[in-house]
Structure 1
Amino acid sequence: MFFAYLALALVFGSILLYRRRRLLVSWYWYLLLGIVDVQGNYLVNKAYQYSSITSVTLLDCWTIAWVLVLTRVFLGTRYSLLQLFGAALCILGLGLVLLSDAGVGGGGGSKPLLGDILVIGGTVFYAISNVGEEFCVKKKDLVEVVSMIGLYGSLVSVVEISIFERQSIESITWSTELVLAFVGYALSCFAFCTFAPSVLKMSGAAMFNLALLTSDMWAVVVRILIYNQQVDRLYYLAFAIVVVGLVIYSKNEKEPEVVHAIEDGNLTHYQVLNNGSAVSPEESLTS
């Protein structure tokens, strides 16, 4: 992920420097976003070492459950009973994945349960990152958010690489295929991190993670066609339950009633109008 973060910092940071204006959000909020984003990516990527690609991608949907909790607590978003029911179905489906990886269905990987735990831990950080990024891109500047996450993400990555992964890097036997794999991964992550904030700005963290469900089907295709591995029936059942839960949730999604903004280290309350825009109490009085 270091190369992806570095690319984001160089590309979007150059645009930010060209504008020559002060940051709209305090630097320490971006540092926090960078830290949690790096932890989420680290844990999920580490999980591929122990679990199968289908387990990792499907369990990644746990992010939705954490997003529901975080947006309710920190952004004041209210969810209907049907939305909560849909989320519960998703968790039930993901539970089947854990059941399969525990040995009932023969989950893939050397230590599938450890891999599953790493993924679930990573989704907690993903959720924090998504909610924080959603807030910043909706209330502030998209280029600033992406460039700062790239900057602090690269700095945090360097620190953690030197602490946890130095021996692993030293033991790498470099080859053309491995270099191309690194480059391909960095480019794909750069593209993902470039477009993700726009989706968060338009649709929010919850719908963003719902849309990511399509990656699960690609994971099944890759596992069967490229790795020549069989997918247990429980995966298909789990995927079907998750899809039903996500459809129920998305059909009953509504705009949050209250949004809290962070300005200069303080919280400012915004009242959401019928057209979806937000104004502060001071602006409503002057208007």
Structure 2
Amino acid sequence: MRSFKNFCTKKTVIGLGLGQFLSLLITSTGFASSELAKRGINAPTSQSFINYVLLAIVYGSIVLYRKKALKAKWYFYIPLGLVDVEANYLVVKAYQYTSLTSVMLLDCWTIPCVMLLTWLFLKTKYRFRKIAGVVVCVAGLVMVIFSDVHAGDRAGGSSPLKGDALVIAGATLYAVTNVSEEFLVKNADRVELMAMLGIFGAIISAIQISIIERNELKAIRWTAKAAIPFTGFSVAMFLFYSFVPILLQISGSTMLNLSLLTSDMWSIVIRIVAYNEKVDWLYYLAFAAVIIGLIIYSVGEKEEEDQLQANVGDEEAEHEKRPYKECPSRNRVQGISASSSKI
């Protein structure tokens, strides 16, 4: 009953629901990138450019309307924008060489990187229950790897090893951006973060496009079949970037990346609904394992917060008692007051 009460909190439910919404958005971007790669469109930076422009316009307008000074130094956002642009570039580029499933599976490398960075720089403590939740989530993902659901899809790709290396490099950079965004969201401002990330991301993307992808863009024949996934990718990315800071503020970057583990499962759901594909029974077990792992992680987080509040309350109570019983200076003052009254 106590664990159930710890789980059924507004914060936990919103965190789990928002995490799955973000997971669906990532699934959408994966399908869009895979579809563009099949059509021979190799412009990973250009795919992310529109997202950064939308962030700059929407959130930049809010920042200008506020007419308030930035809470963080503007130049802090330059390296964040650079790392974020290159992370998107590497992961989207990987679709040219490996399969959709391989990208989604290897992208979970972000989780240990995030846990290490938050432990080192944000002093986040991971107790046994949180670690157990992470292990259960990753175990659920491993079940998908060993199932026959994606056997044909994993065989695809012109250079799987190169694509896998790009995904791992991109996932490492994603960890850096997630932890940096968590710090800025909790110590600066969410709207400011999105606006500055959009501005510098758009500038860096434009420079990279002019150097690397200019000729590629000229050679692309923009048809409706190519424009739809390109636009869908941009819209999904904009929504993803807009809601990520909210989840980071509620539950942190580790919870974010654990939630995104289900993106691979959601891709199968879409295939079942859209293409009437049959899936192996192990898939359902894997999906359940990831959800259970998320719940275990969330309950562990709530219990740690309650324990921290209880410790603070005990310290305050002890502090209230201490001046009257243990503080010599107060006793001396009381003694002087008593002597004065007798005089």
What TM-score do the two structures reach when normalised by structure 2?
0.65
Aligned identity (percent) is 51
What's the counterpart of residue 107 of structure 2?
Answer: 60
Matched, 1:121 2:169: yes
Distance in 2 separating the partners of 1:122 and 1:227: 30
The answer on whether the counterparts of 1:59 and 1:94 sit within 8 Å (CA) in structure 2 is: no
Distance in 2 separating the partners of 1:73 and 1:231: 41
Gaps of 5+ in 1: 258-272, 276-287
Matched, 1:144 2:192: yes
Between 1:243-252 and 1:135-144, the stretch displaced more is 243-252
What's the counterpart of residue 124 of structure 2?
Answer: 77
Q: Which has the higher strand share?
A: 1
Distance in 2 separating the partners of 1:44 and 1:256: 35
Structure 1's consecutive aligned runs of 4 or more residues displaced over 6 angstroms after TM superposition are 95-101, 227-238
Of residues 20, 40, 43 in structure 1, which corresponds to 2:87? 40
CA deviation vs aligned residue, 1:150-193 (integer Å, no higher than 9, x gap): 11111111122223322322221111222232222211111111
Distance in 2 separating the partners of 1:115 and 1:229: 26
Q: Secondary structure at the match of 1:79?
A: coil
Between 1:169-178 and 1:208-217, the stretch displaced more is 208-217
What's the counterpart of residue 280 of structure 1?
Answer: none
What's the counterpart of residue 211 of structure 2?
Answer: 163
Q: Which has the higher helix share?
A: 2
What's the counterpart of residue 283 of structure 1?
Answer: none
Of residues 254, 265, 271 in structure 2, which corresponds to 1:206? 254
Q: Which amino acid aligns with 1:78?
A: K
The structure with the larger Rg is 2
Q: Which amino acid aligns with 1:79?
A: Y
Distance in 2 separating the partners of 1:100 and 1:139: 43
The answer on whether the counterparts of 1:78 and 1:256 sit within 8 Å (CA) in structure 2 is: no
CA deviation vs aligned residue, 1:84-106 (integer Å, no higher than 9, x gap): 344345556666777899xx955
The answer on whether the counterparts of 2:255 and 2:294 sit within 8 Å (CA) in structure 1 is: no
The answer on whether the counterparts of 2:262 and 2:290 sit within 8 Å (CA) in structure 1 is: no
The answer on whether the counterparts of 1:134 and 1:204 sit within 8 Å (CA) in structure 2 is: yes
Distance in 2 separating the partners of 1:134 and 1:206: 10
The answer on whether the counterparts of 1:137 and 1:145 sit within 8 Å (CA) in structure 2 is: yes
Of residues 265, 274, 286 in structure 1, which corresponds to 2:309? 274
Gaps of 5+ in 2: 1-47, 311-343
The answer on whether the counterparts of 2:185 and 2:193 sit within 8 Å (CA) in structure 1 is: yes
**Shift in Å, 1:148:** 0.4
**Shift in Å, 1:199:** 1.5
The answer on whether the counterparts of 2:134 and 2:293 sit within 8 Å (CA) in structure 1 is: yes
The answer on whether the counterparts of 2:259 and 2:294 sit within 8 Å (CA) in structure 1 is: no
The answer on whether the counterparts of 2:141 and 2:261 sit within 8 Å (CA) in structure 1 is: no
The answer on whether the counterparts of 2:111 and 2:254 sit within 8 Å (CA) in structure 1 is: yes
CA deviation vs aligned residue, 1:223-272 (integer Å, no higher than 9, x gap): 55657888788877766665565454444236989xxxxxxxxxxxxxxx
Distance in 1 separating the partners of 2:279 and 2:212: 33
**Shift in Å, 1:121:** 1.5
Q: Which amino acid aligns with 2:300?
A: N
What's the counterpart of residue 14 of structure 1?
Answer: 61
Number of residues of Structure 1 aligned to a counterpart in Structure 2: 258
The answer on whether the counterparts of 1:40 and 1:123 sit within 8 Å (CA) in structure 2 is: yes
Distance in 2 separating the partners of 1:188 and 1:208: 16
Q: Which amino acid aligns with 2:66?
A: R
Q: Secondary structure at the match of 2:97?
A: coil
